[in-house]
Structures are given as C-alpha cells and as structure tokens.
Structure 1
Amino acid sequence: MITANKLVKVNYTLRENNSEGEIIESTYNAEPLEFVFGQGRMIPLFEEKLNGLKEGEKFSFVIESDDAYGAFNEQAIIDLDINIFEAHGKIDYEMLTPGNKIPMRDSEGRRMDGLVIEVTDKNVKMDFNHPLAGKDLHFEGEILTIADASEEDMMSSSCGCGSGGHKHNHENSEDSCGCGSGGHKHNHENSEDSCGCGSGEHKHEHKHNHENSEDSCGCGNSSCGCN
C-alpha cells in the first residue's frame, strides 16, 4: 500500500481538462513514473489521490488548475533586452527562435524557464508561465510497484516533468530540469548547469532583473512541479 517513504512506480496518461481531452503526456509509450511518496516533490493533490492505493489498482481523477500549476498569468509575459542573450560577443539568434524554451535565472539566482514568443532588434518577448498553467489535469493510470525506498532513493532528487511525468536524476546539482512536459530522462551529475531542454546545444543560463517586482514572471516557482 502507498504510504510515506515508499518507492512508487506508476503508468499514467495525462489529458487536458477531462477523460476526453487532448493527451499532454503518457508513460505508456515511455518510462513509468517512479518517485518516493511523501517527499513533497509531486503536486500535493496528485499524492493525496494515490495515498493508500495498492499494486495493480487503477486511478482516475482531475486536478483543477488552482491545485496544479495555477492560473495563467499575463504578467509573466515580459520583454527582455536582447543583449541579455549575448555570449562570446554575439547573440545566438538560432537559440532565440520562437517556441524555444530557455533556462534562465533572475537576479536572486532563482531558476525559471522562459518560452520565446517574439524577437525584435532590441527585445525578446518571453513567457515564464508553467506550460500547464491555467489547465485542469486529468490523470488516469495504474500502480505498477510499491517498495520500501532505499537511502539512495530518499536522497536522490526526482521531479515530474510537467505533471509528475518521468524521473530525473540531479546528482550534486542545484538545478531543476524544467523540461515542461517532455517524455525523456535527464541526468545532471556534478553540474550547476541547466539541461538546455528545448534550446538545442545551448548550455548556459542567462540572468535578468525585475525592477520593483519579484513575482512578475513567476520567479521562484519550480518549473517542473517540484517543491
């Protein structure tokens, strides 16, 4: 039975809004989600819904946006000076392609991922909302295995991409992966760098400042649901 400090492995399909909604991600065609229950790394209500279930049991539930990644925040869409993205004396315009996700830090060193929306000669418009902000999440799946978590399991840092998705390992790393809702695995060993998900081979992070505001772009909110 699922209780605190159990290593839980589940398969699930995540849809937008309800059981008929668009599929956001599914572990059935990738890796099952594996996490230590009760460590505060998943959406709280996700764990609450799984609490007490046994191996082989199925589940189906909806988590409303307010209990998942919050409402979509228009103030999280901001214009940044394009010179912020200068590296080695030049600006990587390929990285700044609209639709790319770029790992960044604010002036306090807090991690966030920004989605490139528009690029002009002087500015880059970016969206710092979580990819699932404003969406109700419908989970349907089954419990595969439940085991006692080892000391290594307890110490490892795992997070769910997008929703509680696939397992990520961050060994000796200060960063979260912030992979949106992708379905792939990342290892960050002895690294303070971001994984550069969605930004090609770009491996370094950028800093920007928010004058008179610490929360205009959701800075400090984990991009992958890890608390």
Structure 2
Amino acid sequence: MREQTDTGMKQSAPVAPGARVTLHFSLSLTDGTVIDSNYESSPATFTVGDGNLLPGFEAALMGAVAEQTIDVVLPAAQAFGDVNPANVQTFPRQRFAGLLANTTDPVEPGTVVSFTDSGGNEIPGVLKQIGELNVVIDFNHPLAGRDIVFKASVISVLAADVQAVRLQG
C-alpha cells in the first residue's frame, strides 16, 4: 500500500539522491503501535543518501515534493531487516557474572546489553535467555522481522545542486 497526497499547488524539487528534505514522520507497527514520531515536535531535516535514514524509507520518499504526504507499509526486509538467526548468539554465563550479580539494577530477559566490537563501536544486544551455563543474546535490531507503517509529510525539498543561504538581519 502506497498512498501519496498532494495538498497544495506549491512547486518543489522532487526527493532525489542528494536532496535536502525536511519532513514530519511517524513509524508504527501494523497494529497501530507508534514506535517513533516527530509530528508533535520540530520537523527532521536530512540529506538523501547521508545514512540518517534507512534505504527503504528513502525509497518510499523518492519523487515526493513539498506538501505531499506518504503513507506506506514497508515489509520487514525494506525497513529494519529480516531476523537473522546468525545474530542470536550464545555465550558462557560466567562472562556475565558481574552483570548478573547486580541487585540494584537486575538484568533479565529483554534487557539491552552493550558490547564493544574490535573497532571500538558499540553494539547493543537484547538478552533473550539466562541459563545455568549460558546466556543468549540477540543482536538483531529490535524491529527486525516487523513490517513498518511509514508516514511522512514532506515540508520542503531542496535539490542537490541548490545551495541554501540563510540571511540574517
């Protein structure tokens, strides 16, 4: 399902690679549960292709112009990805002894645990199971495997070859 509504006659560059886009958006599950939204706050501005928006969401915006509304259900593979069983890993429980012994802030299934990879990057994982000998951590994105409803109200689009100038008086 993809719905586009043009609510005005204002001319605008279409969303294309390198364009600077300002919009309000919401992400929801197909049952209506809102995951994220900026409709009640300031709009977001990003450059298409800068990595701030996942490719599936950018693809849904391609060709849209200012004052246009997008309402699309993105399949999991185009949103946060499919669940990858290889991203669910088992570790020896003793590796988490200090964390599991914390009684002030108890760790239980569903707790997000941060790891650092060899490059120094932080990788979050969700604790799925605590066994007597092992701990199971899921490194899939929490929304992996879920279809996402993406709604966006495009406020402005500045073509890649146009420079924005701010005048101050």
Counterparts of 1:111-122 in structure 2 under 5 Å?
111-122=122-133
Label 1:121 to 1:62 Cα distance change in 2 as closer, same or farther (>3 A): same
Match of 1:104 in 2: 115
Which letter maps to 1:50?
L
Deviation at 1:112, TM superposition (A): 2.6
- Count the aligned residue pairs: 144
Q: Is the 8 A contact 1:99 1:117 kept in 2?
A: yes
In the alignment, structure 1 residue 29 sits paired with structure 2 residue 45? no
Task: Tell me the distance in 1 between the aligned counterparts of 2:121 and 2:41.
Answer: 30
**Aligned ranges 1:1-227 → 2 under 5 Å:** 1=13, 2-17=15-30, 21-85=32-96, 90-91=98-99, 93=102, 94=105, 96-106=107-117, 111-147=122-158
Task: Tell me how far apart the structure 2 counterparts of residues 8 and 118 of structure 1 sit (CA, whole Å).
Answer: 42
Show structure 2 runs of 5+ residues with no match: 1-12, 161-169
TM-score (norm 2): 0.67
SS at match of 1:96: coil
Higher RCO structure (Cα 8 Å, ≥6 apart): 2
Residues in 1 aligned to 2:125 and 2:52: alpha-carbon distance in whole angstroms: 21
Deviation sequence 1:112-166 (CA, Å, 0-9, x none):
31011233454322111111111111111201233478xxxxxxxxxxxxxxxxx
Distance in 2 between residues matched to 1:34 and 1:84, nearest whole Å: 42
Secondary structure of residue in 1 paired with 2:56: helix
**1:177 alignment counterpart:** none
TM-score, with length taken from structure 1: 0.53
54-63 vs 28-37, which deviates more?
A: 28-37
Q: Determine the C-alpha separation between the residues in 2 that align with 1:115 and 1:140.
A: 27
Identical columns (%):
27
Aligned AA (1:38)? G
Matching residue of 1:193:
none
2:70 is paired with a residue of what secondary structure? Answer: strand
What SS class does the counterpart of residue 125 from structure 2 fall into? strand
**Counterpart Cα distance in 1 of 2:40 and 2:132:** 42
1:59 deviates by 0.9
- In the alignment, the residues of structure 2 paired with residue 102 and residue 71 of structure 1 have an alpha-carbon distance, to the nearest angstrom, of 21
In 2, the alpha carbon distance for the partners of 1:81 and 1:136 equals 33
Q: How much has 1:58 moved relative to structure 2?
A: 0.9
Q: Per-residue deviation at 1:40? A: 4.2
Deviation of the 1:73 alpha carbon:
3.0
Q: Could you list the runs of 5+ residues in structure 1 that have no partner in the other structure?
A: 150-227
SS in 2 for 1:130: coil
- Tell me how far apart the structure 1 counterparts of residues 159 and 78 of structure 2 sit (CA, whole Å): 28
Max Rg structure = 2
User: Is the 1:96–1:119 contact (alpha carbons within 8 Å) kept by the matching residues of 2?
Assistant: no
Name the structure with the higher strand share: 2
